[in-house]
Amino acid sequence: MLVVTFIIAIIALIISIVAYQRAGGTKELRRTVDSLSSTMESFKERTAGTLKEQIEHLTSVTESIRDKTAKAIGKLEATVRWGKGEKKPPEGRPPKRPEELKKRLPPTAKDFQSELDNVFASAQQEGKSFIEIKSGDLHRSVGGYPGRNHRIPLCCGVMKRNMKPEDQILRQPPSGEGATLIIRFKLPR
């Protein structure tokens, strides 16, 4: 019985060797590996040049989208701020419905800077040598204060950025930013 099992095992081994050789054996396996590696090399060469081109194309598309988005946001802001059909109010004329606009949109740093510049110009025309500005008063004149959406920290930041060495803070809340911040600005600016 042991001899029969041994003979069957040898026959099975011979059949598997023949099947392996018919399937191609190690030669076919090597040919397949070589073919795949040459395909990978040619793919790398083809995509290396085009990858750089694709990155440049994506960069230009991104810039284009960024520009178009900026223009659209600018138009949207103009529409919200000044009404349909107007880009911005002519110089010297206040925008339509200023109280309504003040309620709808919180003031920006640009709004605070513009108001601060107006205050400086008025004080200089009056011949003053300095002016004391309180952040709460500046915010009230721009709009939105007092209110839930006030921008006192932004207002204080604009005031502090306008300080020169000869200017001084007369009063400052503990946090550094609040409606009671008072700065004495030396004129002329």
Residue 119 lies in a domain: yes
164 occurs within a structural domain: yes
Using 70 as the pLDDT threshold, list the residues of the chain that sit under it: 24-25, 46-49, 81-104
Q: Are residues 112 and 181 in the same domain?
A: yes
140 and 99 assigned to the same domain: no
Same domain, 132 and 169: yes
Say yes or no: 63 and 131 in one domain.
Answer: no
- Please give the residue range of the domain that contains residue 70: 51-104
**What pLDDT is attached to residue 52?**
74
> Which pLDDT score is estimated for 94?
52
pLDDT given at position 117: 94
**pLDDT of amino acid 20:** 72
Number of Cβ atoms within 10 Å of the Cβ of 138: 23
The per-residue DSSP string of the chain comes to -HHHHHHHHHHHHHHHHHHHHHTTHHHHHHHHHHHHHHHHHHHHHHHHHHHHHHHHHHHHHHHHHHHHHHHHHHHHHHHHHH-TT-SSPPTTSPPSSHHHHHHHS---HHHHHHHHHHHHHHHHHTT-SEEEEEHHHHHHHHS--SSTT--HHHHHHHHHHT--TT-EEEE--TTS-STT-EEEEES--
pLDDT at 66: 82
Q: Does a structural domain hold residue 153?
A: yes
Sort 135 into a burial class: Cβ within 10 Å, 0-12 / 13-18 / 19+: buried
- 110 and 95 in one domain? no
User: Taking the alpha carbons of 51, 52, 58, 62 in that order, is the dihedral positive or negative?
Assistant: positive
What's the predicted TM-score (pTM) here? 0.46
Instruction: Please tell me the total count of domains within the chain.
Output: 2
